[in-house]
Structure 1
Amino acid sequence: MGTMTLRGIDDQTAQALKERGSREGVSVNAVTLRLLREAL
């Protein structure tokens, strides 16, 4: 499994990821991975 760094994430997007993770009881990383998988 690889590692990836995302740069240039605007504050609004970062906050939305944090809020979603909090609502769903998962980490920002888990939310981001799921969204990427769903988009591809």
Structure 2
Amino acid sequence: MSILSLSIYFLMWPAIVLGVMIVIGHAFFSDWKKAREAGEDII
């Protein structure tokens, strides 16, 4: 395995995790905003 392919493989996982965290965070804050506007608790 070359250094370039190993580097790409190693750096791919943090990028995937970041993408998933962005999606989860966006959904959470969207639900939080809707609950706040409706005057309800998020839980």
TM-score interval w.r.t. the shorter chain?
0.3 to 0.5
Q: Which has the larger radius of gyration?
A: 2
TM-score w.r.t. the length of structure 2 is: 0.43
Highest RCO, 1 vs 2 (Cα 8 Å, sep ≥ 6): 1
Choose between structure 1 and 2: higher helix proportion.
Answer: 2
